[in-house]
């Protein structure tokens, strides 16, 4: 019985600890990348979210020797999961 109570106390304290820790920590890790605006990309729209790459270009990925632009790291990752799905022909 004593052990059970201890376990509950432990898990409660672990959970409250996790809540206090901010999970958005690595959002601002790629700050020095402003010159990306001059990069030429083959897609005028982000294939994931359809934002204009000319205005919202934040990241690029090279697929089949072509440079594709994305509005965010998230979209790039989505693209890389299945590039063929997003690249026409």
Which residue ranges make up the site for Zn ion (CB under 5 A)?
A: 46, 48-49, 71, 75
Cβ distance to Zn ion smaller for residue 2 or 81: 81
Cβ closest to Zn ion, residue 10 vs residue 69 = 69
**Alpha carbon of 1 to those of 6, 7, 15, 58, 67: distances in Å?**
9, 10, 21, 56, 62
Closest separation in Å from C-beta 50 to Zn ion: 8
Contact 2, 22 (CB under 8 A): no
Nearer to Zn ion, 14 or 49 (CB): 49
């Amino acid at each position: 019985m004593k052990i059970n109570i201890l376990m509950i106390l432990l898990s409660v304290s672990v959970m409250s600890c996790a809540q206090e820790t901010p999970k958005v920590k690595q959002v601002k890790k790629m700050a020095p990348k402003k010159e990306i605006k001059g990069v030429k990309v083959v897609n005028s729209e982000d294939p994931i979210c359809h934002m204009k790459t000319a205005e919202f270009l934040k990241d690029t990925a090279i697929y089949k020797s072509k440079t594709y632009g994305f509005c965010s790291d998230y979209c790039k990752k989505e693209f890389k999961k299945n590039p063929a799905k997003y690249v026409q022909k």
